[in-house]
Structure 1
Amino acid sequence: MSAFVLRPARSADIPAITEIYEHAVLHGTASFELTPPRETEMAARFDTLAGQGYPYIVACDTDGTVIAYAYAGPFRTRPAYRWSVEDSIYLAPAAQGRGIGTALLERLVELCEEAGFRQMIAVIGGSEHKASIRLHEKLGFRLIGVFEGSGFKFGRWLDTVLMQKSLGDGKASLPNEGAYPGTIA
């Protein structure tokens, strides 16, 4: 495994994040977007998530080059879902197979637990996306369902795989209703 560093993402990382995501959109099924968003859109997405207290992190090579990123965002927007997050992880092709995805997801889980979230949902594009499924299984996610043929990309139907991991106490205790998860007191 080669050396890399994890750190919070910042606005200056948006060009690299945009490039990594563009490759994922154009060549993979991790995202069901068909047209890569421009840098301004990626910046707006980053600002929205970071501004709401959701964790957003990057992995950098030892020279500081951003080679992967991960973030948590709202699973659904209705208020009763506020204790649940959806994880997203994207790696540059050169970053794959180096343990970076595992490190990013482990850190993302830690940050979400610290922020008070109770459930993390993985929405994986394609049943054949075995690397992502194995990564989530390795970190304690369990399969909760498959939406068969729910997406159409690259001239074929794709499943959506749903996996879930309890964070902290999960559903074993009531949340602190006075605190909104993700916000820093």
Structure 2
Amino acid sequence: MSTPPATIRPATSADLTAVAEIMKHYVEQTVATFTETPPTVDEWSRLHGDLAARGLPFLVAQAGGDVVGFAYAGPWRPKSAYRHTVEDTVYLAPTATGHGIGTALLSELVSRATAAGCRQMIAVIADTGDPSSAALHRRLGFVDAGRLRAVGFKHGRWIDTLLLQRELTAP
């Protein structure tokens, strides 16, 4: 079964149930996220509101009437000197991978974060043995910035994270 082409658009509150369901899969079934309890729709709603208040993008990919992925740019660190640096988050429904939707989401996220005045975007990628997320980021201009060894413990194993970085605006 093929996935229809996706439309990338800003997330609305009506999308957050689907966002929660997509994330629930990754929280419960994978080590791609270090989150161990699936965020509730209320928690997604708070994040959605916080990002909107900061002028940061929260996007969804919609295909065939369904939300099949999401991406957002959130604060990299809480200290004020980091205010121009964001961390990206991109997740797809398991049935939506391999169709270019991740590329479309991340490309639009980079564009909107740049328009919002962000200067750097950081990707923190769990090194699960699957190279697809790092490859996606590298295709879109992210460069390796480091590795943090055995910083996460989930589902009975220690996991490294890869740090990648992309400049969003000219110096």
Q: Shared topology, TM-score over 0.5?
A: yes
After the TM superposition, which residues 92-131 of structure 1 pair with which residues of structure 2 at under 5 Å, given as runs? 92-126=93-127, 128-131=129-132
Q: 1:47 — aligned with what?
A: 49
For 1:36, what is the secondary structure of its paired residue? Answer: coil
Q: Structure 1: give runs of 5+ residues left out of the alignment.
A: 173-185
Verify the 8 A CA contact 1:109 1:167 in the aligned structure 2: yes
Shift in Å at residue 2 of structure 1?
3.7
Paired residue type of 1:38: T
CA distance in 1, matches of 2:46, 2:32: 20
CA distance in 2, matches of 1:41, 1:2: 29
TM-score (norm 1): 0.88
CA distance in 2, matches of 1:112, 1:37: 24
Q: Where do 4+ consecutive residues of structure 1 move more than 3 Å?
A: none
Q: Structure 2: give runs of 5+ residues left out of the alignment.
A: none
Q: CA RMSD in A?
A: 1.2
Residue by residue over 1:154-183, the C-alpha shift from the partner in whole angstroms, topping out at 9 and shown as x without a partner, is 1110001100000111xx2xxxxxxxxxxx
CA distance in 1, matches of 2:5, 2:18: 19
TM-score (norm 2): 0.95
CA distance in 2, matches of 1:134, 1:14: 27
Verify the 8 A CA contact 2:84 2:119 in the aligned structure 1: yes
Verify the 8 A CA contact 1:127 1:161 in the aligned structure 2: no
CA distance in 2, matches of 1:30, 1:44: 22
2:21 matches 1:22: no
The structure with the largest alpha-carbon Rg is: 1
